[in-house]
Structure 1
């Protein structure tokens, strides 16, 4: 079996595309889809073992992939990583700035170090990757960048540090779209809602207990799939989105439109798209079945 993308098979043929945080979750899925569409994919992360596992999967499926260790929070590492990629491949056509992470906590319980760590991971790291890909490749050759955000419309209770960082990412996306348009660079973001991803298994306690109940809070009465995020990211990276720049695309099943005065009907009328042949259900959802 191979990735069942809706895009034409060679949509990214001859393109070099980076996926940060490509060792798991949405990044793993997007790396698979891009490789299936002909891209030469570079996946980065902090753990070589996870990257190697994803690379082995992509190679088994016939795709082209390269792994590189890079901590996106470290300026020097980011510069060196991008320099090496440009040296080896000549240029970078696309960047899916997917890497990030957070932990649940009320605002009054977040330490200064905890807040700083999440902002460095989700905002500073996103900026450093954008800046270096632009300075070392896209300023001269053009390209497309897709940043990872989150649904922050009504704040982000329980994860205020991540919400603040993601709001920064969305503003950064708009600024870069304006400043870098002169170089033929498009910059957009994708904002996932509640997605069935391996990241769900990292949460503990009360937050973990809440996860199985999330589907009932969505108008579509289900969680999203990794493929449903990857397909949007691939579109924004593709030539078909050549006139799309400076926007954040929410992929949340209309959850942000919910109102306490409008009851959600129970139904089973929303069919998920799952083109990822290697997708799996997070353990936290298996436990609730």
Structure 2
């Protein structure tokens, strides 16, 4: 695929920096990796599936960027420690972390068992904590850095995905605590809370959920879903020097979906234009 990432940020913004993106093999993580590489960063992506990571690294190389990858499970504490140490030995100091890896499944509370609940919390909270702690301990506390954590639109609860909502709210609170405790080392910690994003993850759900997905835009005042590049742009801003006095915040990226009430329904319209910065983006099958 031709073309280059159409970032709104200046070329070379992250030149000379190494930035780690977890969950970089698909979806939002893939998009963030592409934008950071296009802005001059040496990008390190990680995830559980080597084939997906290899594919993204090849895309970035084809576009003229630099991307390395490491396959491991962020829920495994010893694997996190070992991979952070190995990455630092190979690439030197790491100045940024995008804690994007995660996952969940739809289910009402009464159908969620202890094992499933703990698996989702491990995916979306504990694993991110381990990555933050190890990169701070082994690297960032000596030279500073910026961390951006991934949460979700949990502002009014997450009925149907309560296990994920609990984990994501925990990550937002963890972000605030880390921002305060690590400020002395010059480390900023923020989070983003995307709403519904037109990303490949939507294709992983069963057909009944896909039917709901097709109508989601009607619940968004902007009458559309987010593009991956709109989430990436927010993450890149929080990593950038322009956000040097921003720490401990969770930035909502939901098109206003968490606002309002049935007493004042949003007016229908044709939808606002998205920011389509990612030249390799493809709409998920469920929305085509």
Q: For 1:132-147, list aligned pairs within 5 A.
A: 132-147=134-149
Are the counterparts in 2 of residues 219 and 258 from structure 1 also a CA contact under 8 Å?
A: no
Number of residues of Structure 1 aligned to a counterpart in Structure 2: 286
- Find the aligned partners of 1:76 and 1:129 in 2 and give their Cα distance: 11
**Paired residue for 1:264, among 259, 266, 288?**
266
CA-CA distance at 1:269 after TM superposition: 4.8
SS in 2 for 1:95: strand
Q: For 1:194-209, list aligned pairs within 5 A.
A: 194-209=196-211
Give the equivalent residue in structure 2 for 1:51: 53
CA-CA distance at 1:194 after TM superposition: 0.6
Are the counterparts in 2 of residues 225 and 273 from structure 1 also a CA contact under 8 Å?
A: yes
SS in 1 for 2:122: helix
Gaps of 5+ in 2: none
Question: TM-score, normalised to structure 2's length?
Answer: 0.98
Query: Does residue 236 of structure 1 match 2:231?
Result: no
Deviation string, structure 1 residues 37-69 (Cα, Å, up to 9, x no partner): 000000000000000110110000000000101
Are the counterparts in 1 of residues 224 and 271 from structure 2 also a CA contact under 8 Å?
A: no
- Find the aligned partners of 2:91 and 2:60 in 1 and give their Cα distance: 19
**Paired residue for 1:279, among 278, 281, 288?**
281
Query: Does residue 124 of structure 1 match 2:135?
Result: no
Give the equivalent residue in structure 2 for 1:78: 80
Give RMSD over aligned pairs.
Answer: 0.7
- Find the aligned partners of 2:211 and 2:267 in 1 and give their Cα distance: 23
- Find the aligned partners of 2:173 and 2:27 in 1 and give their Cα distance: 25
SS in 1 for 2:131: helix
**Paired residue for 1:183, among 182, 185, 188?**
185
CA-CA distance at 1:258 after TM superposition: 2.4
Are the counterparts in 1 of residues 19 and 95 from structure 2 also a CA contact under 8 Å?
A: yes
SS in 1 for 2:221: coil
Question: TM-score, normalised to structure 1's length?
Answer: 0.98
Deviation string, structure 1 residues 164-204 (Cα, Å, up to 9, x no partner): 00011001000000000000000000000010000000111
SS in 2 for 1:86: helix
SS in 2 for 1:54: helix
Give the equivalent residue in structure 1 for 2:154: 152
